[in-house]
Amino acid sequence: MASQVLVAANRGPLSYVLDDDGALTARRGGGGLVSGLSAALARQPEALWICAALSDADREAVRRGVSEPGVRMLDIDPTTYDDAYNGIANSVLWFTHHHLYDVPREPVFDARFRRQWEAYAAYNHAFAVALAEEAGEGAVVLVQDYHLALVPGELRALRPDLKIGHFTHTPWASPDFLGMLPDDIRSQLVWGMLGADRLGFHTRAWAGEFVRGADRDDARGCADPFWPSDSSPGVHHRPMGPDGRLGERRTTDVGAYPLGVDGDDLRALAHRPVVDDKLAALRAEVGDRAAIVRVDRTELSKNVLRGLLAYRELLISHPEWRERVVHLASAYPSRQDLEVYRAYTQSVRDLAAEINAEFGTPEWQPVLVSVEDDFARSLAAYRMADVALVNPVRDGMNLVAKEIPVVSEAGCALVLSTGAGAYEELREDALTVNPYDVTATAEALHAALSMPADERLERTKRLAAAATALPPAAWFTAQLDALRDA
């Protein structure tokens, strides 16, 4: 049956595991996009979520016809998928939007890159075709993230009747970084995005980067950005068709929808018995010391190394904290197919071990690093956090900065990077830091640890209120409504 609301994202709400006896079991997918969208779509029972098969077990499920209601997985040839996901999405677009390149050596746009780009285009095309098949007349389609930047343009060509939105969960690259992409590739990217009626970003800053970048790109779109009012900036353009001719003048609206957390859902999750057990175990390890908590994916942009350097500097410049504080650093394994991610994760472990060797005593281990997929342990750490450290170099939103104040029991001081999307909403009650400035981060940790308990509690309440201002369901409906009115 044709759907009236469709979502397309690389990662689906679940993925499969193949047991030794050949049985398939569905497991919940991970990451901010999946948790936000799953919560939103729980209230949209008619919606269809189109996603990629991520593993052999997922592909096996598609072949056997195993599926869950409201989900369609696309079985994309594994080499094409690997080139699109690891090659382009995670090694080029992710690095461009997060400004992660080691510029004397990277990026290199060569023949291999060109082959991978073909795969990225084919993978986007597969999504566009599936959406065109499944969507009812005039349906609303919400395409998610940098994996699927070409889908809006492709889908518009196939189905001009649809209302097409695209939401970017990452930052958008500054015009200088976007300008590193080869001209024809950058034009395709901007053309793909401008196929949407409406583009959503987490912050006004990222929306602004998109509009400025589109302005500089005239190869296929004749962009002409405008910001008529605070609420509805957009881009005027005349998209070029496959025949190379300029089409009719159109407007793509660009808006900020800062995804927040659902306070009730999160508190309920954080008070399950499994979390109580993890909390008791962590408390036993930390004792009555203060806890500095961070939770990330094993991700380069999260800046875990400079966070550890700042913690080391704190122990040197403010030795009064020695033996009185523990740093709990948890990371979910992510993108371990990429060598640079494996190496980064190893560097984190090595630096933590160095700090423990330098300052540790028989009674005190200064840093506890855990690299595992354990959400219950993270929630337990949130509950006992005295200080939350969120210092990414650049981050679309960073939901951890919003989750910790909601769950924290005694109030928690938030040290927050100016590079996180969450900075736009949380800056007044956080201790904000330039993520490259290790000394400033160490001083912010000291200020956070020294903050009087009543001030900490007051700030935490205001942070929690800001964090829950636009929970996933409202975030999603705001975009649906804006698209329906488009």
In the complex, least distance from residue 467 CB atom to ligand G6P, rounded to whole angstroms = 17
Residue selected from 12, 13, 32, 225 as contacting ligand G6P according to rule CB under 6 A = 32
432 binds ligand G6P (CB under 6 A): no
59 binds ligand G6P (CB under 6 A): no
Residue selected from 334, 391, 432, 479 as contacting ligand G6P according to rule CB under 6 A = 334
In the complex, least distance from residue 252 CB atom to ligand G6P, rounded to whole angstroms = 21
Does residue 368 sit in helix, strand or coil? strand
145 binds ligand G6P (CB under 6 A): yes
Residue selected from 169, 237, 302, 402 as contacting ligand G6P according to rule CB under 6 A = 169
31 binds ligand G6P (CB under 6 A): yes
Select from 29-37, 238-246, 316-324, 477-485 the region that touches ligand G6P (CB under 6 A): 29-37
Q: By C-beta, is 335 or 446 nearer to ligand G6P?
A: 335
Q: By C-beta, is 54 or 431 nearer to ligand G6P?
A: 54
Select from 27-35, 361-369, 403-411, 476-484 the region that touches ligand G6P (CB under 6 A): 27-35
In the complex, least distance from residue 171 CB atom to ligand G6P, rounded to whole angstroms = 10
- The widest CA-to-CA distance across the chain, in whole angstroms, is 73
Distances (CA, A) of 11 to 32, 35, 39, 175, 365: 11, 11, 15, 28, 37
237 binds ligand G6P (CB under 6 A): no
CA distance 401 to 403: 6
Exposed/middle/buried for 320, CB within 10 Å: 0-12, 13-18, 19+?
exposed
Residue selected from 6, 11, 414, 430 as contacting ligand G6P according to rule CB under 6 A = 11
Residues paired with residue 224 on neighbouring β-strands, in sequence order: 236
Phi, psi dihedrals of residue 139, rounded to the nearest 5°: -65, 160
Residue selected from 5, 33, 286, 414 as contacting ligand G6P according to rule CB under 6 A = 33
Select from 25-33, 56-64, 172-180, 405-413 the region that touches ligand G6P (CB under 6 A): 25-33
Closest by CA position to 404, among listed 299, 298, 291: 291
Measured from each CB, the residue nearest to ligand G6P is 31
Please tell me the count of residues contacting ligand G6P according to CB under 6 A.
10
Distances (CA, A) of 62 to 72, 76, 183: 9, 10, 37
Tokens representing residue 20 in the block:
């030794």
Upper half-sphere CA count for residue 176 (Cβ side, 13 Å): 5
In the complex, least distance from residue 335 CB atom to ligand G6P, rounded to whole angstroms = 5
Letters for 113-132 (x = contact with ligand G6P by CB under 6 A, - = none) are --------------------
Specify whether the CB–CB gap between 381 and 328 falls below 8 A.
yes
Residue selected from 170, 252, 298, 441 as contacting ligand G6P according to rule CB under 6 A = 170
CA distance 81 to 87: 9
Distances (CA, A) of 273 to 113, 276, 328, 370, 463: 49, 5, 21, 21, 26
Using CB under 6 A as the binding rule, the residues of this chain from 378 to 407 that contact ligand G6P are 396
Number of H helices, E strands in the chain: 19, 17
Could you list the residues that contact ligand G6P (CB under 6 A)? 11, 31-33, 145, 169-170, 334-335, 396
